[in-house]
Amino acid sequence: MKFKLAISPGASAPIYKQIIDQVRLAASTGKLDSGDQLPSVRILAEELVVNPNTVARAYADLVREGVLESRHGKGAFVARRRKVFTKQERLRRLEPALQAFVNEALALGFLGPEIREAIESKLGSLAQEAPNRTEEVGDEE
C-alpha cells in the first residue's frame, strides 16, 4: 500500500468522511497516482479497526465522486487525474470553503493575527506528517 490512513475515532468528523478526505487528498496531491490500487474494504477495515460497512461507504462515495474506480472482482483503483483548473478557477472553487472558514473564525472571536496563526499551525502539522507518511512528498513551501 502506497500510503497510510490515520483516523481518529474520537474526532467529531465521522469516520467514513475522514477516509474520504484522506484518500481524496492523497489522490490530488500525487501521493496516490492514477491506477494505483487501494487496499480492499475488508483489509482496510481491519487495519483501521472499523466496521467494513464504513469503509465500503467511503469507497462508494469516492467512486461516485470520480476519485476512484471500482473494477468488479479486482478492487478499487485511483481514477485518471481530472483536468487541472486555471488558478482563477481554482480560487473561485476555493472561495466558499474560505468564506465558511473565515466566518466561523470571526464568529468565534478570532482576529486576523490569530487566524494566520491557526493556519500556520495547521500547515506546519501537515508538513510534519507528510514526509513520514509516504516516501514521496509533493509538498514544498
Which listed option, a copy of itself, DNA, none, makes contact with residue 24 (CB within 5 to 8 Å by class)?
a copy of itself
Give the separation between CA 24 and CA 4, rounded to whole angstroms. 13
- Per rule CB under 8 A, is residue 110 in the interface with a copy of itself? yes
Tally of CB atoms within 10 A around 29: 14
Give the separation between CA 124 and CA 85, rounded to whole angstroms. 26
Which residue type, as a one-letter code, is found at position 69? E
State which of residues 4, 33, 106, 131 lies at the interface with a copy of itself (CB under 8 A).
Answer: 106
- Per rule CB under 8 A, is residue 33 in the interface with a copy of itself? no
In 3-state terms, what secondary structure has residue 70?
Answer: strand
State which of residues 34, 53, 99, 121 lies at the interface with DNA (CB under 7 A).
Answer: 53
State which of residues 27, 59, 67, 134 lies at the interface with DNA (CB under 7 A).
Answer: 59
